[in-house]
Amino acid sequence: MSSNQVHDLSDEAVAQRLEPVARRALAEYGVAADAALTLLNVSENATFAVDDPATGRRTVLRIHRHGYHEGPAIESELVWLDALREDTGIRTPRVLPATDGRRVLALPEAGHRDPRHVVHFEFLPGSEPTPSGERLPHSFELLGSITARMHEHALHWRRPSGFRRFAWNYDAAFGQEQRWGRWQDGMAVGPQEREVLGRLDATLGKRLAGFGAGPHRYGLVHADLRLANLLEDGDQTYVIDFDDCGWSWFLYDFGTAVSFFEHDPRVPELTDAWVRGYRSVRPLSEEDEAELPTFVMLRRLLLVAWIGSHSGTDLAREMGAEYTAGSCELAEGYLSRFG
């Protein structure tokens, strides 16, 4: 990646570059041309809040990264959002179609041969559950129960023909595909870090192979199901950001639940709360519970790779070398138990 490309991934630069695409999309959705666009997030995609002065309504526009998902895979994500809402009552954001009925747009971007895919969602009320304080275990118990409801749905849902989502298995993470890049290219990964994380990689491969991918353990998952992707509004809870959803071990969803604070001393308490909530809906064997640390470390090593391949984003810069150092420390602890 060139230095210019890295710079172009900063939030400010992404917002400036994608505003023309967003404006084209607004015309397709019948939104006023002078609607205010506010960048909410840059990760795999860029997400904007849209405030339409003509109606006073706020909506959300998601502009997809090039090459992450093709149109049919995005359509499949939206189908699962609909099914969860209709079959289970889990609140997911509704898709707002273009004036001609399309739910996924493919719009040109200056300087790029391939179009940008765009999806328009309703804006959901509420806020992320408090990430600290006395209510945190309660929030994790709620998260566990919602996760189990989604897994139950995935097990029994008859997917439409042509349903397509990618996988978060070992090969996709660290093998041939390396969807988020190589962890070896993470920030501040030198010889010492490469040795520790290499042992972690090998151990993860062995344990995941031994754990197996039977239908009771492996299926369609959210793949980023953490408190940041819940919204609480009174007695209503909404689940958002399904862009990474795909095939993986069900317990990978727990690995994502503690993303970015895996080292926190409260994690054992939060694990117990999540398991308690999960078991209120769906069985979870003691053998499966004992393997939860493997999925925490699977996610952690994936994030080391993500930071390296997205080093131009503000989030990656913020996490940086410190995240790699913390990952090595966590890896040593994990390997002392499982290696």
The crossing angle, in degrees rounded to 10, of helices 267-279 and 136-156 is 40
Average the pLDDT over 274-278 and give the result.
Answer: 98
Residue spans in the chain of domains classed CATH 3.30.200.20: 3-122
Average the pLDDT over 329-333 and give the result.
Answer: 98
pLDDT at 11: 86
pLDDT of 4 > 70? The answer is no
pLDDT of 9 > 90? The answer is no
Average the pLDDT over 267-279 and give the result.
Answer: 98
pLDDT at 130: 74
The domain made up of 3-122 has a fold known as Phosphorylase Kinase; domain 1 (3.30.200)
Give residue 53's Cα distance to chain centre: 31
Q: Cβ atoms within 10 A of the Cβ of 25, count?
A: 23
Average the pLDDT over 126-149 and give the result.
Answer: 91
Q: Which of 150, 113, 100, 165 is nearest to 251 (CA)?
A: 150
User: With 0-12 CB in 10 A as exposed, 13-18 as middle and 19+ as buried, what is 69?
Assistant: buried
pLDDT at 12: 87
Q: Which of 66, 300, 68, 44 is nearest to 183 (CA)?
A: 300
In CATH, the number for domain 136-338 is 3.90.1200.10
Lowest mean pLDDT among 149-163, 194-208, 279-293, 305-319: 305-319
Average the pLDDT over 15-25 and give the result.
Answer: 95
pLDDT of 3 > 70? The answer is no
What span, in angstroms and rounded, lies between the C-alpha atoms of 147 and 222?
Answer: 8
Q: How confident is the model over 30-82, as pLDDT tens digits?
A: 999 999 999 998 888 999 999 999 999 999 999 999 999 999 999 999 999 99
pLDDT at 40: 94
Q: How confident is the model over 187-230, as pLDDT tens digits?
A: 999 999 999 999 999 999 999 999 999 999 999 999 999 999 99
Average the pLDDT over 14-22 and give the result.
Answer: 94
What span, in angstroms and rounded, lies between the C-alpha atoms of 322 and 154?
Answer: 36
pLDDT of 6 > 50? The answer is no
Q: How confident is the model over 90-120, as pLDDT tens digits?
A: 999 999 999 999 999 999 999 899 999 999 9
Prediction pTM value: 0.94
DSSP-derived letter for residue 94 is: P
Share of the chain above pLDDT 90, in %: 89
